[in-house]
A and B are shown apart, each in its own frame.
Chain A
Amino acid sequence: MNSMKGYFLSALSILLLLCLTGCWGNKEIEDLSVNVGLALDVGKESELEQELAEQGATYPKKNIITATLQTVPVLKGNKEQQMGNSKSSEMFLNTEVTGDSIFQLYRQYSLRRYRPIIGHHLKVLVISSELSRKMDLDKLVNFILRDNDIRPSCLVLISTGKASEALISSQPGDIPSFHLRSMVENQFRNNKILAPMILTELDGIMNSGSSFVLQNLVTAKGEVEFAGAGVLKGETNKWIGTLNEHEVEGLNWIKGDIEGGVIKTYDKSGEVLAYEIKSASTKIKSKVNGNDISFHVSIEADGRLIENWDKSQVPTDEKFLKEAEEYFEEELKDMLHKTTRKMQEKFKVDVGGFRNQLRIQHPKVWRTVKQDWDETFSKCDITYDVNITITDYGSSAK
């Protein structure tokens, strides 16, 4: 009797487990194209699309967005062909589709290419600043955020020129999406790169209503360079302008995102002095005095003197090192002031994370100013205290 019950229960559990939904879609991997990059531009049909449309390939739509879908790998012919022109053959395939709903654009892809697209491996999303100026970013990434396949780790970038150009590479064998994804990791070498903004973070920030910056990139002759940052205003989620490279550096200092990089300045005789950052820390203190909110930013950095063109100076000289520290501090302060001025005066937005400090340090005050924070912030007083230490001067004493 007991064993009968046991058998019955185990058989029942098997069936119940089978009834749970799993991933039933069976599709062999080689029959899929892997979407690794997506670029969004202002809607303009390409020549190919126009020709196709003339032939009748059209459906009711508004040409608001042109999406460039980058898929890998490109099917190669037989082996000989591969050997023959492996240098010139491209590793990726870019497909441009124009329309409005991004989801529909993704599905339109299946009308052009026989291997269905999968989104699991989407690495980068590049949005042109022009499109972002016209459209709410929330609308643009709505599908991308909802889709179950697309990973929240997808990187979001802003492009000054056409976004689709960022997905083109002049180097053979290079896949631009991977290229961009990896370049963000170079933060430890260069402090002009913003901390990567991935989809989940973007979702959170957009919902919180705060303004934010996205890494900006520029393109020329098939080359891509990270340059500055696009500023998006929180209330509208629209692009309002660009911070240049120098200001991004300053912004990184304020946000405490410095992992390495350089401070370069000139000494009084105009010779180059360079400082390699080993570690840096930033503390923002908010002060509330009646209605006045002010911030004090104290920055400390350790590093080494790495380049000095002035031959007359001996690096072992304590006095010279003190002097050099002062040059660097001066340079950094200058940088910080320029950044702050741009934030407060030109864009009137807080992208330096001050709101968060206030929220943590003075929650009651924060509640009163929360509604109109960007406006309030642009009138806040921000002071800086910079302390740069030269811990050593490298392997050369001369």
Chain B
Amino acid sequence: MWQSIISYIPNWIIFTQALVILIVPIIIYLTSKWLQSALGSRTSEGTPTANESEENIFENAKTKAEDTMPFTGNYETDLASIKKRIAKNCDVHFREFTMATGEMVAIIYVEGLYDKELIEVQVMKSLMFDDVEEMEKSSKDSKITKSYLTNKMLPISEIREALNLEEVVSDILVGSTAMLIDGIVEVLLLGSATGKTRSIEEPLSEGLLRGPRIGFTEILCDNTAILRRHGKNESLELIKFQVGTRAKKDLVVAYMNDIVNSELLEEVKRRIESINMDYLPESGYVEQLIEDDSLSPFQQAQNTERPDRVINSLLEGRVAILLDGSPFALIVPVTFSMLLQSPEDYYERWIPGTLLRMLRFLATFFALLAPALYIAFISYHPGLIPTKLVMSIIDARQGVPFPSLIEALIMETSIEILREAGVRLPKPIGPAMGIVGGLIIGDAAVNAGLVSPFLVIVVAVTAISSFAIPTYSAGITLRLLRFLAMFCAAILGAYGTVLFFLLLCSHLVKLKSFGVPYVSPMAPYRLDDWKDFIFRLPFKVMKRRPLIMKTKDSDRKK
């Protein structure tokens, strides 16, 4: 009996394998935990901790006290204190003149940002020449007052008052014109920045055949105005935040107040408030600072230049984030299917829309797995290729000196380099380089026996497929993952490719964007949301907003 039990005990190889299976996951877990703590989880932390040294605090306190001290109303001292703060800058100008009534006035502005027309015609002219008689009359009574100025003398809509140095200085530097008048305690801030801006153009990265040609620009107020203009809608709310610890920038969170889930909104606000960065030049910074998982290759916020896309998302219950100085708005939360959808799907009729969507899913599959499958078939599974194709592939690969992985890597890398170069190249040269690179190098590589013609087809299909994905950054993700897939295929063949795909799926299923599962209509499975997933059903069927967004108002029709 003992003998029969012993015969069932496996030998030491099995035990070693079991040990490896036990230890390696622990190692992987520890590494990923270490990576997480090193990189990610910024968003899950609370408010940022201050890290100023004690000396700095003392210095800061001193200047702070000066900054918050109110103006005295004495022209000379106030002007001197302002000059002390900002006169070093070459672009800050002080223009002093005497008003018709005799008071000294100083106009302080930043060259290139101030509204020249407004200041010269509406302010200086009216103060220096106009209504001299009336002015004289009033001057007899008393000194000129602030309310008199604003009511009678300055025909300008945008006038603000500032009481201390800090307010004045920060506003002057972003483009307002400050007016300091002898005898008045408040400094008046006139107008706002008008610097040179770009006109509204068609979005470059998301061209459409059918649909509005309007795109966001770098000016935040223009962008919010574009959003406002989508229609008469009281529920669109835009709240302003200031981000950046050193250079402050405006950031607007847009949402529909009677649609958006309030928890989601709070979460977005919380994450934006916890941004701790000295300067945010582009919304890409915001995206990376508020995302859930920094280790994931997938983006967790959608960037778009298209206002129509933003509005559509807001109506689905999502939240948009617009940063001043960036033409890219962010939409959160994002799901994987959104990255493969184009607004055109909705503008065209539902049948072509559905077809195009399916094509894009297919293109995604190719962009991700075509070279991997090529390697798997060529190196591992000759039996899965049709016989006649096997013969022609063998013929074509006869002179190729490399295994299929190296061959595919050569071609894929050169295509990626070519694409990267194409972005940098000046516009007139770009297409020419594309042709030289794509056609001539490809053809020469085949003739030189470096790669097989069959691979050139695979690589070309892959490259074109990755461009069929409407979101550029999603395309980059797939390009990156494609190389991983190729290595998996080279190690384990089609089995490796399947493993890779499973791993990718398990990652995607776990990934969340602002609490919303990344592959949401698929997992968790919600049949109702499938109406707008791979298919785009007619509008008559799509009566409800996505269930996954848990909106306050789920009905699209009233």
B457 CB, nearest partner CB in chain A, Å: 16
Q: Is A27 an interface residue (CB 8 A)?
A: yes
Q: Does residue A23 face the partner (Cβ distance < 8 Å to B)?
A: yes
The residue in chain B whose Cβ has the minimal distance to the Cβ of A17 is B499
- State whether the Cβ of A76 lies closer than 8 Å to any Cβ in chain B: yes
Secondary structure type dominating chain A contacts = mixed
- Tell me if B25 and A17 are in contact (CB < 8 A): no
A318 at the interface (CB under 8 A from B): no
Shortest Cβ distance from B30 into A: residue: A7
**CB-contact partner of B33 in A7, A22, A23, under 8 A:** A7
With CB as the reference atom, state the residue of chain B lying closest to A13: B506
Nearest neighbor of B392 in chain A, beta-carbon distance: A73
Which one of A12, A14, A36 lies within 8 Å of B503 (CB-CB)?
A14
User: Which chain B residue lies CB-closest to A21?
Assistant: B495
B17: A residues at CB distance < 8 A: 19
Asked if B493 lies at the interface with its beta carbon under 8 angstroms from chain A, I say yes
Complex Cα gap A149–B388 (Å): 17
The answer to the question of A30 belonging to the interface, with a C-beta cut-off of 8 Å to chain B, is yes
Residues of A within 8 A of B493 (CB): 22-24, 26
Q: Which residues of A contact B397 (CB under 8 A)?
A: 28-30
> Is B390 close to A, CB under 8 A?
yes
Contact at B394–A29, with CB atoms within 8 Å? yes
Chain B residues with a Cβ closer than 8 Å to the other chain, count: 42
Q: Return chain A residues, CB-CB under 8 Å to B502.
A: 17
CA distance A23 to B382 in the complex (A): 12
**What secondary structure prevails in chain B residues at the interface with A?**
helix
Chain A: residues with Cβ within 8 Å of the partner, total of 38
CB distance from A78 to the nearest CB of B (A): 9
- Please report the C-alpha to C-alpha distance between residue A22 and residue B494 in the assembled complex, in whole angstroms: 9
Interface string of B184-213 (1 = CB under 8 A from A): 000000000000000000000000000000
Among B94-102, B373-381, B438-446, the one that faces the other chain is B373-381
Cα of A279 to Cα of B467 in the assembled complex, Å: 51
Closest CB of chain B to A155's CB: distance in Å? 13
CB distance from A178 to the nearest CB of B (A): 8
B383, A120: Cβ atoms under 8 Å? yes
Q: Is B226 an interface residue (CB 8 A)?
A: no
Complexed CA–CA distance, A30 and B385 (Å): 13
Which residues, 381 to 425 on B, are CB-close (under 8 Å) to A?
Answer: 381-385, 387-388, 390-391, 393-395, 397-398, 400, 403-404
Chain A residues, Cβ within 8 Å of B21: 12, 15-16, 19
Q: Which residues on B are within 8 Å of A, measured CB to CB?
A: 17, 20-21, 24-26, 28-29, 32-33, 377-385, 387-388, 390-391, 393-395, 397-398, 400, 403-404, 490, 492-496, 499, 502-503, 506, 510
Residues in A lying within 8 Å of B, measured CB to CB: 4, 6-8, 10-20, 22-30, 32, 34, 36, 72-73, 75-76, 118, 120-121, 123, 149, 151, 178
6 nearest A-B pairs in the assembled complex, by CB-CB distance: A120-B383, A22-B495, A11-B25, A30-B397, A11-B28, A7-B29
Contacts A10-B510, A14-B499, A27-B379 supplied; 7 other A-B pairs, CB < 8 Å: A13-B506, A15-B21, A15-B24, A28-B404, A30-B394, A34-B394, A121-B382
